[in-house]
Chain A
Amino acid sequence: MFFGFSDEEKMLRRSVRDMFKSRNTPEHVRAFIENPAIPKEMQKLLASQGLLGIIDMEGSGEDGKGLMNAILVAQEAGRHLLTYPLVEAMAGLAALKTCRQQTRLAEEIEAGKKVLTVAWVNVDAKAKKSEDGYVLDGTLREVPFANEADVILANVRVGGKGFTPEEEETLVVIDTKSPGIAIRNSNSMDETYPLYEISLLNYPLKAEQVVKGFGMGKGRTLMDKMKQIGALLISAELVGCSERALYETVEYTKQRKQFGVLIGSFQAVKHLAADMYLKVESGKAAVEYAAWAADTENEEAELAISIAKSYTSEAGIQVCGDAIQMHGGIGFTWENDMHLYFKRARRSAAVLGDVYSHREKIAKAAIDEGISVQDKYSKRTESVPV
């Protein structure tokens, strides 16, 4: 019985933290906001450190599926407002690696030669038959860094490849340099992690761009897994982001004086900081547990991820908002970094299932399937007549 990290895991966290601390500084982040281009050095660095392909959906060894390592990296990415589609690269590579046909592409991405992103939402994109195969038409949303990406993973419907619309879903690799694609900035408030919308018009889909074959529920299954991994990783990002906001704020209260004393000596300020700490640590515990559950294929994994995402989404916004409050006027200015954390939390909370949708999933398990939950979590139930 041990809930904690091994020495190797601690070492990984330390080295990634140091790396982002020197290579993804607030100055780098500000420069990216001015000119949103992914720095080539960062891309190389992530690849050379082997951080992109650390998730193995089919893994069952000592590291499970690699999710514990992945959340440690994602937490550091959130802490340093990393301007790279790390969540998408990790989740997307995990999916690509399950398909032999995509081995070469996966290797190129892992080696940092290509940037991969994911279209998390398919509005209405579907394939229709053309003379020599298929063409794609429609809109994809919530595509981080699409403007900088070489390839986009998306789930599109291919008619006739399943008995239900869900079954027809097919995971495909879209080449951003190809004709028939238009990329538009969606104007997300979080400029450290821009989101794009993709319009497809007669985009030619080749058979080799399909991951794990057409339809028959395969695309749906893969995308669901990617979304679960994504929700877990972004929860970890939220923890890192809000933890950074908390500690920067605490430092500020140890320097800023009012009424002749440090504001950190006021109980009103201390108690707010303690509440923030409680939220950060609770979110952290939820993410760590969920990663363990997913790594070990525990039956609770899905529930644990919904707990982590709903908790960290609400807590992240609360903590980063309180960080602005505790900074006072300066916290409300563009030059101060607090709004960057706050906006990153806002975007992270909204995507990959918001608080409401994950709580509804929890409710299904905890209330509707209450009987099995009772059996699972407590062996005996009192007979309370109502």
Chain B
Amino acid sequence: MDLSFSKEQEEYRQHVREWLTNNIPQGWGTPEFNWPDDEAERGKILREWDRKLYEGGFAGISWPKQYGGQGLSHVEEIIYDEEAGKLNAPSGVNVLGKLLLGPTLLLFGTEEQKQRFLPPLLRGDEVWCQGFSEPNAGSDLAAIQTRAELEGDKWVINGQKVWTSFAHHADWCFVLARTDHELPKHKGITFFLVPMNTEGIIVRPLVQINGNRDFNEVFFDNAYIPKENVVGGINNGWKVAMGTLGFERGTLALGRQVRFQNEFNTLARISSSLKKSEESYYRQKMAELFAEIRILRYHGLKTISQLLNEGKLGPEASLQKLFWSTMHVNMGKLGHEILGEQGPYIGKESIGRGILQEIDLGSRGATIYAGTTQIQKNIIAERVLGMPK
């Protein structure tokens, strides 16, 4: 067990911290930040941040240099993420591109695809969204009905995707579509790269329970795309998608943990100001929550060690998602207990300007996206504990 970083890594941390301190937009993360109401304007601000990150050398930290990355290791990526968490830095608009598509292309893409798509992704010139879920294919992802048929040198896509985050800002979408109806459901799926300006694609926004407008429905009505926009081979999309989802679980562990730690500090401050933190009941519950946030860090360190040593994560990574998303729901509940009868009031005049209520509402999404709590429990029971299907 050695939880220290090398001298070079500590120097890198210092470099990241300095750069972030000098570059994070003024007032970011505080209620003073001037956040425009218009979605397109918000998208511009986030894309601006993606561009700044690229110029600063913090895009694709562990990706090879020939594709625009920094050619460093996962450790530097983790350090960046942790420092960004501490300073509550924005994560930009190309999260799905960086977190999911990039690693997928590095693993399954052709040389041509890597050269074509990775550099503009990192530069913030091409923003990506993820076209996986459908109205009738959520937890049962392999039940997708969106279909793609080959017509001459084009694929023609028809169907509907949903919960498509950032589709309204995106230039490209990575899409799962059925290419063979005869094969068993996991085997007839292909992974496509689709330009969002293709004729026949319509994006309709959905408003979330916290008022945010991150997600959308995306409709494909005879959308024609080039024949070569396939990743990992025709009818091999399920394998590619499972690789993609593997990246979604666990890698951002420490950065996320630090953000939760920041939220706890806010919660503790509010509870002190409301004189709740002197009462045993709240002290006990806050201590319990604090302990879980620290344990999340220990899980994160374990996960990262596994990633560094074995190069991949096993089904155990489901534990981390289950742990933090459940913990965050509990944080939301405790926040409301502390607010008591002040709970319903949000907005600029309210206690903490509604930050505890935002935690409570926001937490309800995380137990659903990236594999629901129930799916994570199935994965643990079947693949880790070996219980029968």
What is A's interface to B at a CB cutoff of 8 Å?
Answer: 1-6, 68, 250, 253-254, 262, 264-265, 267, 269-271, 273-275, 277-278, 281-282, 285-286, 288-289, 292, 303-304, 306-307, 310-311, 356, 359-363, 366-368, 370, 373-374, 377-386
Contact = CB atoms under 8 A, between A and B. Distances in A.
B249 interface: no
B4 to A, nearest CB: 7
B1 A253 contact: no
A293 B377 CA distance: 31
B2 A1 contact: yes
Interface in B257-300: 258, 261-262, 264-266, 268-274, 277, 280, 283-284, 286-288, 290-292, 294-295, 298-299
B386 interface: yes
Interface of B: 1-5, 9, 17, 29-31, 75, 86-88, 258, 261-262, 264-266, 268-274, 277, 280, 283-284, 286-288, 290-292, 294-295, 298-299, 301-302, 304-306, 308-309, 316, 319, 322-323, 351-353, 355, 374, 376-378, 380-382, 384-389
A367 B271 contact: yes
> Closest 10 CB pairs between A and B?
A270-B381, A274-B377, A359-B287, A362-B287, A285-B298, A3-B301, A274-B380, A363-B283, A366-B290, A264-B387
Contact of A370 (B265, B280, B301, B302): B265
Nearest to B262: A378
A286 B265 CA distance: 21
A3 B262 contact: no
Contacts of B288: 310, 359
22 contacts: A3-B3, A5-B1, A250-B386, A250-B387, A254-B387, A270-B381, A273-B381, A273-B387, A274-B322, A278-B380, A285-B295, A285-B298, A285-B302, A288-B298, A310-B287, A366-B290, A377-B265, A380-B87, A380-B88, A382-B88, A384-B269, A384-B352
Contact of B273 (A4, A6, A382, A386): A386
Contacts of B9: 1
Given A270-B381, A384-B352, A386-B274, 17 more contacts: A1-B2, A1-B304, A2-B1, A3-B1, A3-B302, A4-B309, A264-B388, A271-B374, A271-B377, A278-B322, A288-B298, A310-B288, A310-B291, A360-B287, A370-B268, A378-B262, A385-B352
Given A1-B2, A264-B388, A383-B30, A277 B319 contact: yes
Contact of A274 (B30, B265, B381): B381
Contacts of B352: 384-386
Contacts of A274: 322, 376-378, 380-381, 385
Interface majority SS (helix, strand, loop, mixed), chain A? helix
A378 B261 contact: yes
Given A250-B385, A270-B377, A382-B266, A359 B351 contact: no
A286 B295 CA distance: 6
B265 A381 contact: yes
B86 A378 contact: yes
Contacts of A310: 287-288, 291
* Interface-central residue, A275, A285, A303, A373, by most chain B CB under 10 Å: A285
A325 to B, nearest CB: 16
Contacts of A262: 388
Contacts of B29: 382
A362 B378 contact: no
A159 to B, nearest CB: 35
B384 A277 contact: yes
A124 to B, nearest CB: 27
Contacts of A285: 295, 298-299, 302
A278 B376 CA distance: 11
Contacts of B376: 274
Contacts of B309: 2, 4
Contact of B353 (A3, A269, A356, A385): A385
Contacts of A384: 30-31, 266, 269-270, 352-353, 355
B304 A366 contact: no
Given A2-B305, A270-B381, A384-B352, A363 B272 contact: no
A363 B284 contact: yes
